[in-house]
Structure 1
């Protein structure tokens, strides 16, 4: 049970925060998931939405790489909402089913392409160890550049 109310309608936010609500709905179609709770602090919700929109829509990563990184983070944090929201997006972006299954089951990356393995290993090391090995960092640097 939530201890904080969900905000899903514009009438639930003060007039001075209506622009933030509108911004979230314009890019996502509606307010749902974490934004329905974050809107209890409209400034936080607005900043999170802005960062999320940049990462999803304006970053230089190709869609398949971005979605593979997102589902890796979702699985490493056991964030079911993020996983379910992005698994289908990963498939639509062209992430191979084998890579999705390995991420889902926290399996070994030995059978994946070097690109897929690098993205997954980078995320796993960062989130599990709070540091990235030189080997993985160098592989990512080779793949993405500075």
Structure 2
């Protein structure tokens, strides 16, 4: 199995969340639009990314469209995101999306075998196609004809586009999280994260 280079990963944050005392009025307005955790906290991903306010301002609507207003069913979306987190070693992405996946109907049994990939026993045919799509996009930056055609039996053109964009979005987010060392907040344990596994496992 080809292992991700863990030595290249920061063992502490390279960029810290912007402290609240440094929130200028524009920063405060931008962060007010971010999803808040129960209790009112703002996730570290947003308070770190807002160090580039222009980019943050344009990132949030696109990410929000995919996460909250997309055409894919929630369980489909979250399965793709969790497999992408697995493929990229993005612990933060996994930890934050685990409760969303469960809320969307992804079962604990499915979560437990995400790290085993699309050939693991127990997947439904559509789930296998979805995991293969995430793996092929991660590895090859495209999808095989077989995977595309398998998905096209279940989804229309808009949903197929969204699958590709969703995986690409969360791959990009994983790059940001991993490179900057964003820390997962307390209360979001990384339960079941498939350490050292991924599409090439």
User: Aligned match of 1:15 in 11, 25, 46?
Assistant: 25
- The answer to whether residue 36 in structure 2 is matched with residue 28 in structure 1 is yes
Query: What is the rounded CA distance, in whole Å, between the counterparts of 2:136 and 2:65 in structure 1?
Result: 24
Alignment match, 2:71 = 60
Alignment match, 1:118 = 129
User: Aligned match of 1:128 in 139, 143, 157?
Assistant: 139
Q: Number of matched residues?
A: 143
Query: What is the rounded CA distance, in whole Å, between the counterparts of 1:37 and 1:83 in structure 2?
Result: 18
Structure 1 gap segments, 5+ residues each: none
Normalising by structure 1, what TM-score? 0.86
Normalising by structure 2, what TM-score? 0.64
- The answer to whether residue 119 in structure 2 is matched with residue 108 in structure 1 is yes
User: What per-residue deviation string (whole Å, max 9, x for no partner) do you get for residues 29-81 of structure 1?
Assistant: 43223212111111222222222211111001111111111111111111000
Report deviation, 1:110: 4.5
Report deviation, 1:99: 2.2
> Which runs of 4 or more aligned residues in structure 1 lie more than 4 Å from their structure 2 counterparts after TM superposition?
none
Contact 2:17/2:44, CA 8 A, preserved across alignment: no
Contact 1:68/1:90, CA 8 A, preserved across alignment: yes
User: Aligned match of 1:86 in 89, 92, 97?
Assistant: 97
Q: Which has the higher helix share?
A: 1
